[in-house]
Every structure is written in C-alpha cells, then in structure tokens.
Amino acid sequence: MKTTIERVIFLQSIELFADIQSEQLAQIAGITDYFTLSKDEVLFTKGEKSQHLYLLINGTVNVTRNGEENKEFDGPEALGVWGFFDDGDRLLTITCSADCQFLRIDRLDFFDLLEDRVHLSRGLLKYFVKRIRKLIEVSDEVI
Amino acid sequence: MKKLVSIFYDVRENEWKPVFLMVGLHFLLMVVLYFLKPARDSLFLVETGPDQLPIVYIVLALVSLPITYLVSDVLARFPTRQVIGYVLGFLTLNLMLLRWLFLFDHPLIYMAFYIWVGIFGILVISLFWLLANSIFDAAQSKRLFSLLTLAAIVGSIFGSQASSLVVSYTPVITEDLLYISIGILCFAVLILYFIPGVNSENDRKGRPESRITGNDKTPSAVKTVVGSKYQLLIAGIIGLTTIATTFTDYQFKALSFNAYPETENLTAFIGTFYAGISLASLGIQVLFSSGIIKKFGVAGAVLTRPLGMMLGGLLMAVEPVLASVVLLNGFDSATRYSIDKTGRELLFLPLSQHIKERTKLFIDLFVDRFSRGLSGAILLLLLYMMETPITLITIILLFTIACWIFLGYRAKKEYIDTFRTSLQRMLVDTDSIELDLNEPVILKLIKESLQSGNDNQVLHTLILLENTDVEPVAGELRVLLNHPNTEIRLNALKLLQSVESVHWLEDVKNLLNDDSPEIRVETIYYLCIHSNDDPSSVIQSYLKTNQPQMQSAALGCTCKHGEQDDDGPDPKLFDDIMNNLPDDEKEQVVIKAQLADALGFVKSRSLASRHLSNLIQDSNRTVVTKALQSIAKLKLDRMVPDLLQMLNTKKFTPEVRETLGSYGNDYLTLYKSKFLDASLPLMVRKQIPGIFYHRPNETSMRHLEDMIEADEPDLRYHVIKTLNKIHREYPGLEPNRERVYSCLRSESGNYFNLLAIKAIQPESRPNSILLKALSEKMDQTLERMFRLLGLIYNQKDLYSSYLALKSISRDKRSAAVEFIDNILDPKDHKLVFPIVDDISEEKKMETGYELFNIEKVKYDQALIKLFNGNDRWLKTCAIYSVSPVCPATLQERVETYTKSDDPLYRETARMVKQRNQRYNGSEKQANENHQQS
C-alpha cells in the first residue's frame, strides 16, 4: 500500500473516517506510515503515552485489559482512538495474534492537518456524535 | 470660533466640518420644533379648546407607534442620510399643505396639526441621533455628542423665544410661523447634503440595532421586563412619569387658554414659557445635576423631578391658578431633559447591553405611549363627568407623583443590587457607558469589584474605568500593580498614569523587570511623566544603560509615547539591542517583542523593513504578531512579497491577511493578480480572498466578483465564502447580481457535467473511488451554488435550507425543497431547482441536457473530460479508474501521467500501469493454460 489513492481507499473503510471526503482523506493519507508486525508482537501496552493512531490493514490483533483477553479484531480497524484524541494513556494492551500490516498516524501531524481543514473536523465530529448516540441508546436500553 | 469651542470640547482636526454641520443641523431642527410647538398649542387651544386635548393625547399615542415602525423599516433598507433627506422633504411639503388647510379653519385641521408636530418631534430627534451615530464612531461620540446636545438646547431656546417675539412685535400671525419653518427646513436639507463622511460601517451596523423588529421582539421584551423586578420598577417609573406629565400638560394648557384666549397672545406666552424652561433646563444641567448626583446618587437624580412636581402639585391644590401651574409644568419640563434624563440613563446602566437593547426600546416606546393613551382616556372620562375637573386632576396627579416617588425610592436599592450582580457577571457594556466615580454608590461598587479577587471581574472593571477620572480608586489600582495577571497589571498601570496627584515611583519601578513587554514600556512612560526630572532626561538614562531589557523598554516608550515631531530614536540603538540579546530565551522574546512593537512607530521605513523582515520569521508567536502589527501600521511596500509568502506556511494566516488588508484599497488589484497567477502555490492563492474581508467596501466587492471566475473550484469556493462573510456583516455591500447569476449558471453547468460523468460510471469499477469523488464534487458544487444564492437572497434562509437538504430527515429535506421552490426567481429556479428536487438522476440529467446542451458521453470520453479538467483529485481518481479493459487511448494517457511532474498523478499512474500489466499478464497466462489444456 504505497500510493496515496490506495491508502484513501483503505481509509474509507475505517469507520472513524467514513464521513470525511475522499479528497480530505488524501491529505490524511499523506501523513500515514506503513509498517508491519509479526505474530505476538505488541502494538502498545496499557498505561503507555498515546502518540499515534494505528490503522489495522490486514491481520488479527488481541485486545487485553487488566490481563484478561477482551476482544479480537480483524482489519480494517482503527486502534488507540481515544488516547490519540485526548492525549491520555493507553487503556488497553494490543498484541498481534497473526502477522499484521498497519498504517500509523502521528498525533502532531494529524492535529496540524486539522487546524485549517474544517471539513475534516466536521467529518470527525459526525463520527463522535454517532458514537455518543450509540452509547446513549445502549444506556437507555440498560435503564 | 474654533478656539472657543476647543476650550470646552475636544474636536480633532478632521472633525471640524462634520461637527460644524451637524451642530448647525441640530440647531435648525430644534428651532423649527420650538417654533412650531407654541404655534401648535395656541392654534389648537383657541380653535378647538382644551377639552379636546385628551383626544389628541390618545391619537398621538396610537399613531406614533406605527410611524416609528415604518421609519425603522425604511431605515433598514436605505442609508440614514437618504432617509432623513426624504423625511425632511416630506415634512416640508406637509407644512405647506397644513398652511393651506388652515384657510378652511376647521377644528380637525388644528387637531391634525397638533398630532403632526408631536410626530415631527419624535422623527427629527431620533433620525438626527441615528445620523450622528452613523457619522461618528464610539470614541468620537463620547467627545462630541455633548456639543450636539448643546446645539439642541440653544436651538430650543432660540426657536421658542423667536416665535414669541415674531408674533408679538411683527405683523406675522401664528399661522405664518409655518412659512418660516418651511424656509428653515429647506436650509436644514441643504446642510444635510454637505455633511461629509458618513461612516458606512457604523451606518450599516447601527441600523439593525436601532430597528424595532416588532412582532418577534416585543413578546420577548415583555417577558424580560416582567421577569425582572428591577426592570418592572423602571417601567413603572416611566409609566407614572408619563401620566403625571400628561396631566400637568393638560392643566397648563387649559389654564393658559383661560388666561390668554387670543391666538397671538397665547403663542407669545407659550413661546416665552418654552424658552424659559429651555434656559432653566440648561441651568439645572450645568449647575445642579452633577452636585445632586454626587450628593444623593441615582436616587437624587431619579427623585428630583417628582419631588419638585409634588411641591408644584400641592401649590396647585391650594391655589389652582396659572402661576401655580407654570411652576408645576416649568419644573416638570426643565428637569425632564436634564437631571431626570440622566437619572433614567443611570437606571439602565446596570443592565447588560443585550437586555438594554431589548427592553429600553420597549419601555421608552410602548410603556410611554400606553401611559400617554391611558392618561388621555382618564382625562376624557373626567371631562365627561364634570365641566372643570382641574382640582380632581390635581388630586390624581398628587397620588400619581406619590407612587412615582415610592417606586423611585425602591429603585435605588434594586439599582445597587443589580449593578453589583452585573459587575460580578461582567454584564456592563464597556463601550456604551461612562462611569462617574463621584456617584457614591458607583464608587463603592467599583472598589468592591476591584478587590473582588475574580480576575475577569477585575479586568472588566478596569476596562470600564477607561476615560474615567480614577483618582478615587488610585489606592485600589496601586494594589493591582502586583497582581499575578498580566492584563490586570497593565491596565492598572495605564489607569494610574493619568492620576497626577500621586507618584508611586517605587511601586512602579518594580515593574521594570516584568515579563510583559507592554508593561515595561508603560512603566518607563509612568516614570517619565511622574518623575520630578525632565521626561527626556529620564528616558535617556534608561537608553544609556548597558541592559538591553531597559534599553528596549525605553526605546519602545520613546517610539510609542514620543512627540510626533521628533526624528525618532537613533537607528543604531535597534541594531545594538538586536546584536546584544541576552542568553535567556524568555528575555530575548520580551526584548524582540518590544522592538517589533516600537518599530511600528519609527519614521525610517528602511530601518523598520530591515528589522521587521527578520522578526516575522521568528519562532515566537508574540514577536511575529507584534511585527505584523507594526507592518500594518507602517504599510511597508517592500514587505508585501514576504507577507504573501507567509500565507503558504499557514501558521499566521489570519494575522497576515489582516496585515495585508490594512495596506488599503490600492493594493487590492495586486492581490487579485496574485490570486489569478497560476504559478503561485495553490495554498497562497486560496488564502488571498480572505485579505479582502478586511477591507469591506465596494472596491473589494468588485475585485472579488472578478476573482469568482477562477478556474479551480477550490479557489472559487474561497472567493464566494469571503463574499458571503462580507455580505453577512455588511448587508449594504451587495455583489453584482448579474455576475452572481453568471457564476451560478456556470456552477449549475458544472454540476450537470459531473452528473453526466457519474451517470455512466459502472458500479464495479475499482473500488468506486471515482464515483465517490464525483458525488463529493457535486456536493461541493451544490454548496457553492447555495453560497452564491446567499448573496442575492436571505443568507440565513439559504443556509438553513442547505443544511436541511443535507439532513438525514426526509421531512426536513422535503420542506427545504418546497421552500426553495417558492423563494427563487424563475431565472435562478431553472438552474437550481432540478438539482435539489427529489427526482431520479436520469430525470435530472434530462434537464441538464436541455439547459446546457450537455452531450451524452461514453465512459472513455468521460474520463478524458476529467483528464482535461482542472480538478486534481478527480484527475487522480480518473487515472486510477483506467482498468486493463479500457481503450488504448486511455492507457496512453496513463502512460503520459507516469512521467508527470505532479507526484500524485505520477505515483497513481505508475501503480495503475503495474496493476494493468499484472492483470494482462495473468490473463495471457490463463489463456495459454487454457489452450494447453
């Protein structure tokens, strides 16, 4: 996945970027780095500082929290979203359960990009509003 | 003359002409008003009798409201000066008509004349002040409005006295005063024509505030007033004041008529009376107002009028004769526009600007008119019940005044509480009020506020104190010099500079090492003006030190506060300081910021350019911002290319655009040419329209209209966005409708062209990226079309419609379509409606084929169209969409793009070529395998 357009096509499949126009995604594609990890390698561990957003292209990862295995993800998936946006520590540990391909976005580069691109921010806002809506719906169901 | 006026009023050099003409205009308008008032009263009383007075009170209350509405509506559409011109012209014609109607000698005509003079008074006063607000800005208003008020007082004295003298000592009869008024009004219109420099920005911004928006505003104003105990008290006071004044006016006119049944004698008497009360009003304002406010505060200002009237009322009860009512009405009228007006304004002081705007108009107009109508009705009832109800009216008047005094007393307590809350919540508007610290209540509250410990509140109070004599709070300000907040220290120091009676040199000296560059400069200034030595020797002592911190602060002070005639500081000093910057990074920033600031005041442009071109490259934001502000002040030609280049970095885009905007209209052509210059980076070109936003005028609009035709859609978007912003903030600046239409037509054509290409895209093409990009581009085109429509229709409506169209709710979308269907002109409708209408894309395309003669294209032709277009992203997606089965012409184009200078085209084309080769290879292999098997 070397070219911008291929990365744009991939980014379109990530829910976080679903409401962002493809031309804007090309800007994001411009700040992504491609890398791979082998099976059992750790992407990040709980408590680490969040510097990057990871986008799983191919492969499977395991999510563990407090030593307990929580969930398994296949690509395409965005990993480490909350820490990326709120600059907090990682809440989970993610380990590759197969050979994986990733794209990595640096926090500073991303926010620099956001600074003067309203359409990009608008697309992200839509994503977060959708998430909050979902959470409200879930909590309503629980209540 | 100039010298005499300059003793009392601060009129600046370029203000003399408008001030002189405005003073003349106000004077003449007041002369006419007070010329007509005695004529109105005497003619009405003699021809119809005082019994008809209650009817005209009611009618006047009823007609004044629609007239105010009508004028405010006209004001929202046309410039204030034009409206005043037409209104004065119309009123002059009215006067001619009235004079002719007097020949018929019918009571109704005198009644109409009475009401007409009432409306004339409301109109000319409010229109004159609107014009004054449009000509002078807030700072000028504070200095000059008192001079305009003086012109009005002199005009009223002159007008009323002149009317009395004319009918007493010349053969001119009362009716003929109208001829003189017509002549004066014509002269006033002539003066209006010569008044220069209407501040278009103020004019446009002022109008919506002054406009009464009626139906949508009134209920909320009622709600606001009813919901606030304090505002109810104000409304109550104003209502009772109007009732008491109407009763007093009736009594005065009835008894005057009894004493002077002849028209000319009555005109002379009333004229003299008005002249007397105008003089008394001036005397009270000059001699007693500030004393009463100083001693008794707001309560004194609010209660003086009812207390005086109470005495007059008691006198009337004991001895109901003309002398008593002259005293009663005289006190009422003389205090109305002096101390009572001040008191009323003081009552509104604690309210936030937002609430004040909403409720003051309501209270001043609705409550006042309602009370006047109510008092007319009561008088009518009393006249129906008895023949001479003077004593009964006096009793009701005394009761009304007693209630008024009670409410005034209650208002004092509420005033303090409301003021305290407003200060705590920072609701007092800093621009619109002038604090008088001689008022004990205000002084106490300001001291409390300065000691509050709440940074925002303290800062807000310090800003409120600008242009106020702060000596009474100097002690509190001294304490604030040590406040941890930089803004508070700076503002306290600036305020203390004006206090001449105290010299806290030691306290202030501590600020020489402050972290803020501004504070250091202002500290040196304080030390200069408060030192016993000569200020220039003080500044020299700091310039000669070996400490760059002190030198730069002294340099900043010399540049900022030095005499205009000076040659400015020695250029070598700047070089020395820059070459000997201390190692400490923080200190470096402070010094560089001081120098950047100081350079804005130097006379040598080469010196300024040399240093500022370096300082704008600095890594620190404060330094760059200060440097940009200095460039804006000096408008240095040679800095323009550097500034345009800075737009590429995006780091200081708003500041750079503002700086470039400050260069003036002459540079707009240059910016336009840069915008159209395809050799410049796209990022720079995109930022250029934003410069025009900082010059909101007709010239900018015309340039932007030229720029709207840029080839790249993204560039057009930025131009349209700027036009939208300017038009929204300055509705008077309208773009050329034809050019907007032409652009709208071109955008509509683009939309249908994109749709034609989209329509033939097979869904199965590689990842449908082109399909998505086309849809997005069509959305962007639609947004530009709505923005264009916002320039010729109501922008808010169009924006709401656009949002509704993009909404997920089907109902909202259909409502938007319905709305657009109804508001657009047929010409625009034809271009826009087929796009937004809820019909299939095939049907939409049919309209496109009809409207723009768009040819039906095949897939390869469509891609070639995109290759030949200007859109970089669509071109990239088109390259990506060239599949192995596409015709050779397309493969050749891909081959060409593999050598393109644009990295995006190049990498995409190379990848596509490899992909297609792989596919062709595997296809070939499959065929061979198939043949072998």
- The whole-angstrom distance between residue B466's C-alpha and the CA centroid of its chain comes to 20
Measure CB to CB from residue A26 to each of B653, B873, B911 and give the nearest one. Answer: B873
Do B290 and B438 contact (CB within 8 A), yes or no?
A: yes
**pTM for the whole structure:** 0.61
pLDDT digits (tens, 9 = 90+) for B196-246: 754 444 444 444 333 333 444 445 667 777 777 888 888 899 899 999 999
Task: Give B406's DSSP letter.
Answer: H
| Residue B134: pLDDT over 90 | no
Do B433 and B349 contact (CB within 8 A), yes or no?
A: yes
| Residue B701: pLDDT over 90 | yes
- Give the distance from residue A3's alpha carbon to the nearest chain B alpha carbon, in angstroms: 6
DSSP H or E stretch at residue A78? strand A77-79
Inspect the interface and report whether the beta carbons of B907 and A8 lie closer than 8 Å.
no
| Residue B748: pLDDT over 70 | yes
Q: Which residue has the higher pLDDT, B138 or B53?
A: B53
The residue in chain B having the minimum alpha-carbon distance to the alpha carbon of residue A11 is B769
pLDDT band at B700 (very low <50, low <70, confident <90, very high): very high
Residue with tokens 């070939």: B924
Distance CA B498, CA B491 (A): 12
pLDDT digits (tens, 9 = 90+) for B493-522: 989 888 877 777 788 888 888 888 889 889
The residue in chain A having the minimum alpha-carbon distance to the alpha carbon of residue B650 is A116
**Chain mean pLDDT for chain B:** 83
Distance CA B908, CA B899 (A): 11
Q: Provide the pLDDT for residue B200.
A: 45
Residues pairing with A49 in the sheet: A89
pLDDT band at B368 (very low <50, low <70, confident <90, very high): confident
- Give the distance from residue A118's alpha carbon to the nearest chain B alpha carbon, in angstroms: 13
Work out the average pLDDT over B124-148. Answer: 74
Task: Give A74's DSSP letter.
Answer: E
Measure CB to CB from residue B776 to each of A3, A9, A22 and give the nearest one. Answer: A22
Distance CA B597, CA B592 (A): 8
- Give the distance from residue B767's alpha carbon to the nearest chain A alpha carbon, in angstroms: 7
Q: Provide the pLDDT for residue B461.
A: 87
pLDDT band at B431 (very low <50, low <70, confident <90, very high): low
pLDDT digits (tens, 9 = 90+) for B547-605: 787 888 888 888 877 765 566 677 778 888 888 888 888 888 888 888 888 888 887 88
Task: From chain A, pick out residues whose CB is under 8 angstroms from the CB of B653.
Answer: 116
Inspect the interface and report whether the beta carbons of A3 and B907 lie closer than 8 Å.
yes
Q: Is A12 an interface residue toward B (CB < 8 Å)?
A: yes
Domain A4-139 has CATH 2.60.120.10: yes
Task: From chain B, pick out residues whose CB is under 8 angstroms from the CB of A6.
Answer: 911
Distance CA B387, CA B71 (A): 40
The residue in chain B having the minimum alpha-carbon distance to the alpha carbon of residue A22 is B773
Task: From chain B, pick out residues whose CB is under 8 angstroms from the CB of A21.
Answer: 776
List chain A domain ranges: 4-139
**Which of helix, strand or coil describes residue B883?**
coil
Distance CA B306, CA B531 (A): 51
pLDDT band at B434 (very low <50, low <70, confident <90, very high): low
- Give the distance from residue A122's alpha carbon to the nearest chain B alpha carbon, in angstroms: 13
Measure CB to CB from residue B776 to each of A3, A6, A21 and give the nearest one. Answer: A21
| Residue A96: pLDDT over 90 | yes
Computed on alpha carbons and rounded to an integer, the radius of gyration of chain A in Å comes to 15
Q: Within 13 A of B791's CA, how many CA atoms are on the CB side?
A: 30
DSSP-derived pairing of the beta strands A93-96 and A42-44: antiparallel
- Give the distance from residue B863's alpha carbon to the nearest chain A alpha carbon, in angstroms: 17
The residue type of B485 is N
The residue type of B516 is S
Work out the average pLDDT over B827-835. Answer: 90
B344, two tokens? 């009323």
Measure CB to CB from residue A4 to each of B767, B772, B907 and give the nearest one. Answer: B907
| Residue B76: pLDDT over 70 | no
Q: Is residue B842 exposed (0-12), middle (13-18) or buried (19+ Cβ within 10 Å)?
A: exposed
Least confident residue range of B611-620, B846-855, B862-871 = B846-855
Q: Is B684 an interface residue toward A (CB < 8 Å)?
A: no
Q: What ipTM was reported for this prediction? A: 0.88
Share of chain B above pLDDT 90, in %: 18
Q: Which residue has the higher pLDDT, B504 or B754?
A: B754
Work out the average pLDDT over B897-905. Answer: 92
Measure CB to CB from residue B650 to each of A3, A6, A116 and give the nearest one. Answer: A116
Buried b (16+ CB within 10 A) or exposed e, B219-231: eebeebbeebebb
Distance CA B279, CA B237 (A): 26
CA B241, B246, B252 angle in degrees (round to 5)? 125
| Residue B29: pLDDT over 80 | yes
Q: Is B895 an interface residue toward A (CB < 8 Å)?
A: no
pLDDT digits (tens, 9 = 90+) for B308-348: 999 999 998 888 888 888 888 888 888 887 788 778 777 87
